[in-house]
Amino acid sequence: MNDHRRLGRELGIFDTDPLIGSGLPYWLPAGAAVRKAVEDYVHELERRGGYLHVNSPVLGKRELYERSGHWAHYADDMFPPMRVGGEEFVLRPSLCPHHALIYRSRGRGRRELPLRIAELGGMYRSELSGVLGGLTRVRAIQLNDGHVFCAPEQAAAEVSAALDLIEAAHAQLGISAARHRLSLRGDGAKFVDDPGMWERSEAVLRAVLKERGRDFDEERGEGAFYGPKIDIQIADPAGREATLSTVQVDYFQPERFDLRYAGGDRPVMVHRSVVGGIERLVAHLVEVHGGAFPAWMAPVQAVVLPVSDAELPAAEDVLRRCLAAGLRAELAPADRGSLGARIRAHRLVPYQLVVGPREAAGSGASVRLRDGRQAGDVPVERLAAEARPLF
């Protein structure tokens, strides 16, 4: 069974250190490469979907989270405030308050809506040590987050468009959803007490799921504190479920931040995360692919293998051309073992470029694919084109 905690360390994806702390993994070079490939893909997918990308601070004043409702309903999951210059600052547990302030940074006209903004940003949760594990449950999360500010009549279309993005990303990443869940309000002070608001949000989500013909389960008590959400659940090899992607309809925060557009009308805030937290996503990808990542996200996409020391100069030239073409490539020279041993050592690399006397004479390489098939003398530019994600 593929366990990302074991594989992740074997593959050089991530590690931890007690001096940094529990729930705070660091990314090793291979993991950083996978993460960057995924982030770039999602950024471009969002751009094509009409999103504008922003950046916001990971800190905010305590009163920001009092305004947003997080302090009243979510404080147990937040780190304690830090006093600086007589003011209290908090590591943010969510990006949505910052995005609400970006929306209201100037007046908005009706024709600007829907306004779609997205960010890959840090958020922090004060998880108990007993629930932390690998990359799936951490205290510092890089969240693929986004918010759509739209007129009420646009909300259903924006929820559906967000689900389109999620399904496209899952297909590209090789992810299969375990199930869709409609997460609803539960009892207690954790949830905003406004039944009418919850009913309006729930009606939008139900209508979209019904229109798309999507089967779903309902679970009380799993909604956000301010509204219901569609959760796309994934399962690990042991069958344990986790939430990856979400879409939420929020009438609460636009009211709390007094968000308006021309005419005095209030927008609806659609929260959506295409791939969720990057840590949990990469953990799942390690387990799904067993380290044999699709070419576009592989840490090393091509390895150049000179048959002997005599072909080393030609192999170095092939490596330079691979790097110039945009491939993540490395050299495995003959002093690291026999050709067969080096091929086995790089069995997870999508493209293995063998340079023998014939290839060196022609300034090329014979391409061997990860599954053992021989592709012949393929130009590195074509390999680079094949190693890009599809949109």
Summarised one tens digit per residue, pLDDT across range 327-381 is 999 999 999 999 999 999 999 999 999 999 999 999 889 999 999 999 999 999 9
Question: What integer pLDDT is reported at residue 129 of this predicted model?
Answer: 81
Average pLDDT score over residue span 260-274: 95
Is the peptide bond preceding residue 228 cis, with omega within 30 degrees of 0? Answer: no
Owning domain of residue 363: 302-386
136 shares its domain with 68: yes
The answer on pLDDT for 170 being more than 90 is yes
315 shares its domain with 278: no
Q: Give percent of the chain above pLDDT 70.
A: 100
139 shares its domain with 273: yes
Cβ 354 vs Cβ 307: under 8 Å: yes
Residue by residue, DSSP assigns 42-70 as HHHHHHHTTPEE----SEEEHHHHHHHTH
Please check whether residue 295 lies inside any domain of the structure. Answer: no
Q: pTM for the full model? A: 0.94
**Residue 138 banded pLDDT, cuts 50, 70, 90:** very high
123 shares its domain with 214: yes
54 shares its domain with 177: yes
Please check whether residue 202 lies inside any domain of the structure. Answer: yes
Closest among 248, 245, 230, 247 to 281, alpha carbons compared: 245
Give the C-alpha separation, 213 to 115, whole Å.
27
Examine the fold and report which residue of 260, 289, 318 is the final residue of a domain before the chain moves on.
289
Q: What is the mean pLDDT of the chain?
A: 94
- Can you say whether the dihedral through the CA atoms of 365, 368, 369, 374 is positive or negative? positive
* CATH code for the domain in which residue 131 is found: 3.30.930.10
282 shares its domain with 315: no
283 shares its domain with 344: no
If you search the block for the tokens 């003011």, which residue do you land on? 87
221 shares its domain with 349: no
118 shares its domain with 254: yes
Examine the fold and report which residue of 239, 262, 289 is the final residue of a domain before the chain moves on.
289
Cβ 283 vs Cβ 130: under 8 Å: no
Question: What integer pLDDT is reported at residue 1 of this predicted model?
Answer: 67
17-63 tens-digit pLDDT = 999 999 999 999 999 999 999 999 999 999 999 999 999 999 999 99
Q: Give percent of the chain above pLDDT 90.
A: 89
Give the C-alpha separation, 70 to 64, whole Å.
9
Please check whether residue 377 lies inside any domain of the structure. Answer: yes
Number of independent structural domains in the chain? 2
Interior/surface letters 200-226, b for 16+ CB within 10 angstroms, e for the rest: bbbebbeebbeeeeeebeeeeebbbbb
Please check whether residue 71 lies inside any domain of the structure. Answer: yes
83-96 tens-digit pLDDT = 999 999 999 999 99
* CATH code for the domain in which residue 377 is found: 3.40.50.800
173-231 tens-digit pLDDT = 999 888 999 999 988 878 999 999 999 999 999 999 999 999 999 999 999 999 999 99
Q: Which residues contact 324 (CB under 8 A, 6 or more apart)?
A: none
Cβ 118 vs Cβ 145: under 8 Å: yes
283 shares its domain with 311: no
Please check whether residue 364 lies inside any domain of the structure. Answer: yes
Examine the fold and report which residue of 241, 266, 289 is the final residue of a domain before the chain moves on.
289
281 shares its domain with 365: no
